[in-house]
Structure 1
Amino acid sequence: MDVDSQPNIEETILVGDDLMLGLPSPIIPPEIASHVLEGVDLCDGVLRNLFLCLQINDIEPFCQDEIVLYRECAEKRDKELRQRLSDSEHKLGLSMPIEEAKERAAQLQSEVTSLERHMILASGIQGMEGFRQRWSLHGRLEDTKRRMEALNQGIEKRKPDKIHGEPVRKKWFFW
């Protein structure tokens, strides 16, 4: 078989920037962090191996396995954290006093508005720095919107027998 007739197989070399696909890791609010992070593999061992490989080899092409393992672990972790964040916000909407829940929803809406404004400003920044800022802001914006939606769904599904987080006394009539 002659060399020209063999299929041309190109090898893809992953680099650190390939870890910036999809959304960045979600930011966990401190007031619910212990609940959301409990039992989640934070990928710290895999990340440590990636940094060790990069320290030893000095360039990314020699650390392909470590990059792939970290990317897979981080994707799984972030998916689980986003689901836990949504679940937590939904539970807060269902259970916290209604005024506090509405205040939390207003704070999240304010954060969404601020992040949207920062996205507009970041759209004018060129090059890798502009990309990184837009990537980070886009992730925070999407996560905040999801949290706000989950909180609002919890508020909407509240049982009508709770007002301000307190049970409503039902009046019973006997004929």
Structure 2
Amino acid sequence: MDVDSQPTMEETILVGDDLMMGPPSPLIPPEIASHVLEGVDLCDGILRNLFLCLQINDIEPFCQDEIVLYRQCAEKRDKELRQRLQESERKLGLSMPLNEASDRASQLQAEVTSLERRLILASGIEGMEGFRQRWSLHGRLTDTKQRLGSLKDGIENRKKDEPVRVNKANSKRWFFW
């Protein structure tokens, strides 16, 4: 077989839409953001380099290294954030006063229902805009369901002999009865 007749590997050119592989980055609730984000590489330096490359070169084929580096960093970051979110919700379920934990679970369930409805409505939108909306909503829905499951797991796994904690109005202290 002649060397020239061997099949050649085609080069794959990544574009910005290739960053939409897998689920979108999780949304971090403000009340637990400082705890969840602490020590996590947010990939902001790599993203800055990607934008700078795109600004200088104007097209994606010249920024392949930056796209690959950002995608790898974002995947690692998002995995770590999802784990931390679930663990934080579980800890809240274990430690919050029961009535507050139940209220939080109800709020998360309402958010799940709202996202499910919005996802159904987005199914009628065609083209790239429809895809982006469905992609984003599906990711948020999945993350919210996982957070809700972790919170409920924490609530259910409270110690049976743990005293009930009651949070009086306008009081930051917990009372043990």
CA RMSD of aligned residues (A): 1.0
1:162: which partner in 2? 163
Q: Could you tell me the TM-score, scaled by structure 2's length?
A: 0.92
Cα distance in 2 between the residues matched to 1:163 and 1:137? 37
Shift of 1:7: 1.4
Q: 5+ residue gaps in structure 2?
A: 167-174
Distance 1:122 1:7 in 2: 43
Residue 48 of structure 1 aligns to a residue in which SS? helix
Distance 2:105 2:158 in 1: 15
CA distance in 2, matches of 1:20, 1:164: 44
Aligned sequence identity (%): 77
Misfit runs of 4+, over 6 Å: none
Are positions 1:33 and 2:33 aligned together? Answer: yes
State the alpha-carbon separation in 1 of the partners of residues 14 and 29 from structure 2.
32
Write out per-residue CA displacement over residues 40-95 of structure 1, whole angstroms, 9 at most, x where no aligned residue: 00000000000010001100000000000000000000000000000000000000
Question: Within the alignment, does 1:136 sit opposite 2:136 as a pair?
Answer: yes
Taking the aligned partners of 1:152 and 1:163, their CA distance within structure 2 comes to 17
Count of aligned positions: 167
In structure 2, the residue matched to 1:172 is none
Give ranges in structure 1 of 5+ residues lacking alignment: 169-175
Q: CA offset at residue 9 of structure 1?
A: 1.1
The answer for the alignment partner of 1:77 in structure 2 is 77
Offset, 1:162: 2.4
**Counterparts of 1:112 and 1:2, CA distance in 2:** 58
Task: Give the secondary-structure state (helix, strand or coil) at the position aligned to 1:61.
Answer: helix
Deviation at 1:2, TM superposition (A): 5.2
Please give the per-residue CA displacement for 1:14-39, whole angstroms capped at 9, x wherever unaligned: 00000001110000000000000000
Equivalent residue for 2:24?
24
Structure 1 or 2, whichever has the larger Rg, is 1
